Amino acid sequence: MEHTRKHSRKRDAILDCMRSTTCHPSAEWVYQQLKPVFPDISLGTVYRNLAMFKANGTIQSIGVVGGLERYDAEVAPHAHFICTCCGSVTDLPLAALEPTVLEEAGRLAHGTVSSYQLQFTGCCARCSEEKSQ
C-alpha cells in the first residue's frame, strides 16, 4: 500500500512538473527538477511515467530535439518554434489550421486526420544576438 502511494506521489509530481513549465522539457530535465524532492527517483521512472501520460493523451511528444524526446503538457494543437542552435522550444500563438486543410490532408492520406503538429525551426532571438556579437 505504502509502495503504491509513494509511486503515485511521484507520478503526480512528474505531471505537476510538466504542467508548471512551458519549456517543453525532456525526461532528463524533469528528472533534474524532481531529484532534490525525491532523492530515490530514477530517470527510468520519469521515462515510464512520461510514456504513460503520452499514451493516455495527458501530454504529447513534440519529437526529438538535439537527440532527446521533448514533451508538452499542452495537448491542444498549436505551433512550435524550435531553435536548432540551443534546442529551446517555444509555443507560437498561430491561428489553428483551417478545417479544410485537415480534410485535404485526410484525403491525401486516404484516411482521417485527428491531429497535426506544426513546427518551425530556426535560430531563436537569444542565439541570433549571440551570433552577431
Interface ranges with Zn ion (CB under 5 A)? 72, 74, 83, 85-86, 88, 91, 124, 127
Nearest distance from residue 4's CB to Zn ion, in Å?
32
Nearer to Zn ion, 48 or 87 (CB): 87
Task: Please tell me the distance from the alpha carbon of residue 42 to that of residue 67, in angstroms, as a whole number.
Answer: 20
Nearer to Zn ion, 38 or 61 (CB): 61
Task: Please tell me the distance from the alpha carbon of residue 71 to that of residue 17, in angstroms, as a whole number.
Answer: 11
Task: Please tell me the distance from the alpha carbon of residue 119 to that of residue 56, in angstroms, as a whole number.
Answer: 23
Nearer to Zn ion, 69 or 74 (CB): 74
Task: Please tell me the distance from the alpha carbon of residue 127 to that of residue 35, in angstroms, as a whole number.
Answer: 29
Nearest distance from residue 74's CB to Zn ion, in Å?
5
> Buried (b) or exposed (e) across 61-70, using 16+ Cβ within 10 A?
ebeebeeebb
Nearest distance from residue 26's CB to Zn ion, in Å?
14
